[in-house]
Amino acid sequence: MVRRVVVGFVALAVAGLALLAPARESQADEFAGPTAAQLKARAGGCETQLSNGKYAHDSGGTRSVAVCRSGDAVHWTADFDIDCDGQRTTQCNENTDPSFQPNTSWNQSDGRPLNSAGLPFIVVPLSSSIWNYASAGIGGATVAAVVYGDKVAYAVVGDQGPTGIIGEGSYKLAQQLGINPNPSSGGVSGAVVTYILFPGVSAVPIENQTDAISKGEAAASAFVNSTQTCASTNLDFTAYPALQAGSTGGAVRAAQCLLGGTNEPSGTFDAATTDAVKAFQARVGLPADGLIGAKTWTALLSAGDQPTIRNGSTGTAVRRLQRSLTAALGRTVIIDSQFGPVTETAAKDYQRTRALVVDGVVGPVTWSALQAGK
Model pLDDT for residues 19-37, shown as the tens digit of each residue = 333 444 444 444 478 999 9
pLDDT value at residue 62: 94
- pLDDT, greater one: 205 or 268: 205
Rounded Cα–Cα distance for residues 134 and 140 (Å): 10
Higher pLDDT, 8 or 366: 366
Q: CB neighbours (10 Å) of residue 103?
A: 17
Structure confidence at residue 336 (pLDDT): 87
Mean pLDDT computed over every residue of the chain: 89
Output the pLDDT for position 42: 87
Residue 89 burial by CB count (10 A; 0-12/13-18/19+): exposed, middle or buried?
middle
Let me know: does 59 contact 164? Beta carbons within 8 Å.
yes
pLDDT value of position 99: 92
Measured between alpha carbons, how far is 241 from 320 in angstroms, rounded to an integer? 17
Question: What's the pTM value of the predicted model, to 2 decimals?
Answer: 0.61
One-letter amino acid for residue 166 of the chain:
I
CA distances from 31 to 36, 43, 152 (A): 11, 19, 8
**Given this model, what pLDDT does residue 107 score?**
98
Task: Say how far residue 35 (Cα) sits from the centre of its chain.
Answer: 17
pLDDT of residue 232: 73
Instruction: Spell out the residues 6+ positions from residue 172 whose beta carbon is closer than 8 angstroms to its own.
Output: 115, 116, 117, 118, 119, 120, 121, 181
Q: What are 314-351's pLDDT values in tens digits?
A: 999 999 999 999 999 999 898 889 999 999 999 999 99
Least Cα distance to 83 among 124, 118, 120, 116 occurs for 116
Lowest mean pLDDT among 29-38, 155-164, 220-229: 29-38
Mean pLDDT of 150-160: 98
* Residue 12 pLDDT > 60: no
Task: With H, G, I as helix, E, B as strand and everything else as coil, classify residue 127.
Answer: coil
From first CA to last CA, the distance across the chain in angstroms is 42
Whether 171 and 92 have beta carbons less than 8 Å apart is answered as yes
Q: What percent of the chain has pLDDT over 70?
A: 92
Which of 40-54, 86-100, 299-313 bottoms out in mean pLDDT, i.e. has the lowest? 40-54
How far CA 240 is from CA of 84, 164, 330, in Å, comes to: 37, 26, 8
- Domains in the chain: boundaries: 27-225, 250-371
Residue 1 has pLDDT above 90, yes or no: no
Residue 5's pLDDT band (boundaries 50, 70, 90)? very low
Per-residue pLDDT at 22: 40
Q: What is the pLDDT at residue 227?
A: 72
* pLDDT (average), residues 358-374: 97
Residue scoring higher pLDDT (41 or 86): 86
At 231 the pLDDT is: 78
Fold of the CATH domain 27-225:
Barwin-like endoglucanases (2.40.40)
Q: What is the DSSP letter of 230?
A: G
Comparing 9-13, 48-52, 343-347, the range with the smallest average pLDDT is 9-13
DSSP secondary-structure letter at 126?
A: P
Position 263 scores a pLDDT of: 78
pLDDT digits (tens, 9 = 90+) for 169-202: 999 999 999 999 999 999 999 999 999 999 999 9
Let me know: does 35 contact 113? Beta carbons within 8 Å.
Answer: no
What's the Cα-to-Cα distance from 83 to each of 148, 166, 205, 276, rounded to whole Å? Answer: 17, 12, 20, 46
Q: Which residues have CB under 8 Å from 146's CB, separation 6+? A: 120, 122, 152, 153, 154, 155, 169, 173, 177, 193, 194, 195, 196
Cα angle value 261/264/266 (rounded, 5°)? 100
Q: What pLDDT shows up at residue 15?
A: 33
Asked if pLDDT for residue 214 goes beyond 50, the answer is: yes
CA atoms within 13 Å, Cβ hemisphere of 31: 20
pLDDT band at residue 49, thresholds of 50, 70 and 90? confident
Whether CATH 1.10.101.10 fits 250-371? yes
Reference 295, options 327, 319, 252; nearest CA is 327
The reported pLDDT for the residue numbered 25 is: 41
Of the given ranges (40-54, 173-187, 275-289, 348-362), which has the lowest mean pLDDT? 40-54
Give the pLDDT confidence of 54-109 residue by residue, as tens digits: 999 999 999 999 999 888 899 999 999 999 999 999 999 999 999 999 999 999 99
Identify the band that residue 230 occupies on the pLDDT scale cut at 50, 70 and 90: confident
